[in-house]
Amino acid sequence: MDVIISNCVVNLAPDKLKVFQEAYRVLKPNGRLMMSDLVTEGELPENVRNSFDAWAGCIAGALEKGEYLEKIKQAGFTNVRIVSQKPYTIDVSPQLRGKIVSIQVEAHKNSPSPT
């Protein structure tokens, strides 16, 4: 694959690093990953993490923004950068206002070095 585009589904996976590793595996050298997902700024309350409604809304599985970006890098991607971000406010309870952010991330799979 040349490009992988994902829109807010990684949060549903329990092992996000494995998702990013698989994306890296299937991309061709010089391939690109474009992700849109929800992340947190700070910890979510335990009752939100355990809420079925919050899981269905892709909130309960959200990682902290720095951790999310680090997992993409751990999978092997380079030039990982946020290209857009904005507060997520759709159906967010008062206790979560300002803690959920929608980000769009771009990352690249470099071509292997000649040996």
For the stretch 69-89, pLDDT in tens is 999 999 999 999 999 999 988
With a threshold of 0.85, does the pTM exceed it? yes
Confidence of residue 54 (pLDDT cuts 50, 70, 90): confident
pLDDT of residue 115: 60
Confidence of residue 49 (pLDDT cuts 50, 70, 90): confident
Tokens, residue 36: 């849109």
- CA 25 – CA 109 distance, rounded (Å): 9
The DSSP bridge pattern shows strands 100-108 and 32-40 to be antiparallel
Task: List, as one string, the DSSP characters of 20-84.
Answer: HHHHHHHSPTT-EEEEEEEEESSPPPHHHHT-HHHHHTT-TTPPBHHHHHHHHHHTT-EEEEEEE
Helix (H, G, I), strand (E, B) or coil at 107: strand
Confidence of residue 11 (pLDDT cuts 50, 70, 90): confident
Q: How far is CA 47 from CA 33, 56, 83, in A?
A: 32, 14, 31
- CA 102 – CA 89 distance, rounded (Å): 9
